Homo-oligomer: A and B are copies of this chain.
């Protein structure tokens, strides 16, 4: 191999390993760490991440990278590189360019601010007082505006933040997609609200033994092709997926004795993320070719499994008899279609993470509009709570009873993660567009699901998406899969058809 490339890959691998080590430390914190060890652990994570950052932005790295690519223009210097290698160098340069755009002092200040703000946010939530958090959020917004200036953008500052998570999508793209989506969703939610169909959601709120729930979830995960010799599932307060290498991809779940859907769909959701990470091309570990193409694409994999597979009728044709066998007392009296309606029940609610497929994206749009207005200076933090409530009413027809269930509900802003929310809706859109193609390309697709064959889909996703890493950009990947650009149409068609039928609209 090209020796300059070799040196660069050695460096990116060390930086990647450091980040993975920080992920191990974080996994342990969320699943295993004793309650009084938090301070020491925070110091350890900060140290490892700062070593990674220092290496990535240091002189040696600049020199290794500069041997292969013009650091200003991003033009590859070396004609000997294969297309994959050139892509690897070019993506590394893009990441590097964003990393060095932020002065070290600024990065440190932002880290200190968000670390403090996160604690204040927790307190403000407990006390149900947005006014405690507001001054910190105002400072975060101000720093995020400076961040956008450092990073640069074409149209508006929000573009720069979005690119932290979804490099191929602009604010204008989002506005366009959301303009298609919004009226459909608002109308669909209203029509469902007016429907007199009983969705039988109460059958999911009986008492379900935790160990049986866990065993059932694990069986579905195995059937999906989640490799337990290269992964594991634990409990944590907030479910997440993490990876330390394609050979060690872990998920967590949260089980409730009185809410069957939470643990089951949570496990499948995280399982979808985990299949993406387990399916990466290991030989490129330590380079961008062994990384997810974007957060929206990552979310597409979790939503695809959670909603398009596991909230479908064929899926439950196979699994519902098994679930009834596991919980006969609770479920024997209800037929398949009743259960199918229950897991697809739609109601406007104040809490995003509890929202159904139809209303979920309205929560995201509320947040996107607010974030964008804050970044553009059209909205002040002091007016955020009022504006939140107004928009919730406009989109969902309800108003949160307090700040904890309203403007304070999400962790993201306290961490400075403005620009993140849209990736959830992008996940739904990418996911449905991908699912429709998979369904058309895999022979006998619905029958396969109805017979418990989940692995054919897993294999299709692995070949078409997981194994690709960042070798193809999100924009090109969705085009190469579906022959068209990302669109809200497949998702809208899916919702209209599915919920039209369930609620007899």
| Complex CA distance for A230 and B38, rounded to whole angstroms | 10
- Name A246's closest neighbour in chain B (CB-CB): B40
Question: Per-residue CB proximity of A433-450 to B under 8 Å, as 1/0?
Answer: 000000000000000000
- Name A55's closest neighbour in chain B (CB-CB): B51
Question: Per-residue CB proximity of A37-64 to B under 8 Å, as 1/0?
Answer: 1011101100110010000000000000
CB-defined contacts of A285 to chain B, threshold 8 Å: 40
- Contact stretch, chosen from A24-32, A78-86, A457-465: A24-32
Within 8 A of B (CB), among A234-282: 244-245, 247-248, 250
Query: B14, A47: Cβ atoms under 8 Å?
Result: yes
Instruction: Tell me the minimal C-beta distance from A390 to chain B in angstroms.
Output: 45
Instruction: Tell me the minimal C-beta distance from A225 to chain B in angstroms.
Output: 15
| Complex CA distance for A231 and B40, rounded to whole angstroms | 13
- Name A47's closest neighbour in chain B (CB-CB): B17
CB-defined contacts of A47 to chain B, threshold 8 Å: 14, 17-18, 21
Instruction: Tell me the minimal C-beta distance from A147 to chain B in angstroms.
Output: 28
| Complex CA distance for A201 and B285, rounded to whole angstroms | 54
Q: Given A21-B21, A34-B232, A232-B34: A44 and B14 within 8 A (CB)?
A: no
Q: Given A21-B25, A24-B24, A24-B25: A41 and B229 within 8 A (CB)?
A: no
Query: B20, A229: Cβ atoms under 8 Å?
Result: no
Query: A36, B230: Cβ atoms under 8 Å?
Result: yes
Query: B245, A40: Cβ atoms under 8 Å?
Result: yes
Q: Does A210 contact B (CB under 8 A)?
A: no
Q: Does A35 contact B (CB under 8 A)?
A: yes
Query: A24, B34: Cβ atoms under 8 Å?
Result: no
Within 8 A of B (CB), among A118-151: none
CB-defined contacts of A28 to chain B, threshold 8 Å: 24, 28
Tell me how many chains of this kind the complex includes: 2
Question: Per-residue CB proximity of A181-225 to B under 8 Å, as 1/0?
Answer: 000000000000000000000000000000000000000000000
Q: Given A21-B25, A24-B28, A25-B24: A248 and B48 within 8 A (CB)?
A: no
- Name A286's closest neighbour in chain B (CB-CB): B43
Q: Does A175 contact B (CB under 8 A)?
A: no
The A interface, classified by DSSP as helix, strand, loop or mixed, is: helix
Q: Does A107 contact B (CB under 8 A)?
A: no
Query: B35, A229: Cβ atoms under 8 Å?
Result: yes
Q: Does A228 contact B (CB under 8 A)?
A: yes
- Name A285's closest neighbour in chain B (CB-CB): B40
- A interface residues, tally (CB under 8 Å): 34
CB-defined contacts of A17 to chain B, threshold 8 Å: 43-44, 47
Q: Which of B21, B34, B44 contacts A229 (CB 8 A)?
A: B34
Q: Does A33 contact B (CB under 8 A)?
A: yes
Instruction: Tell me the minimal C-beta distance from A388 to chain B in angstroms.
Output: 38
Query: B44, A20: Cβ atoms under 8 Å?
Result: yes
Q: Given A14-B47, A25-B21: A33 and B229 within 8 A (CB)?
A: no
Q: Given A28-B24, A39-B247, A51-B51: A228 and B44 within 8 A (CB)?
A: no
- Name A244's closest neighbour in chain B (CB-CB): B40
Query: A36, B244: Cβ atoms under 8 Å?
Result: no
CB-defined contacts of A227 to chain B, threshold 8 Å: 36
| Complex CA distance for A229 and B37, rounded to whole angstroms | 8
CB-defined contacts of A230 to chain B, threshold 8 Å: 34, 36-37
Query: B247, A36: Cβ atoms under 8 Å?
Result: yes
- Name A27's closest neighbour in chain B (CB-CB): B28
Q: Given A14-B47, A17-B44, A51-B51: A36 and B232 within 8 A (CB)?
A: no
CB-defined contacts of A36 to chain B, threshold 8 Å: 227, 229-230, 247
Query: B245, A34: Cβ atoms under 8 Å?
Result: no
- Name A40's closest neighbour in chain B (CB-CB): B245
Instruction: Give me the interface of A with B, judged by CB distance under 8 Å.
Output: 14, 17-18, 20-21, 24-25, 28, 32-37, 39-41, 43-44, 47-48, 51, 227-232, 244-245, 247-248, 250, 285
Identify the 3 closest CB pairs spanning chains A and B, nearest first: A40-B245, A37-B248, A36-B229
Interchain Cβ contacts under 8 Å between A and B, 14 examples: A17-B44, A18-B47, A21-B21, A21-B48, A24-B28, A33-B248, A34-B230, A34-B248, A35-B229, A36-B247, A37-B230, A40-B247, A41-B248, A44-B244
5 new A-B contacts at CB < 8 Å, known A20-B44, A21-B47, A40-B285: A18-B47, A21-B25, A28-B28, A37-B245, A40-B247
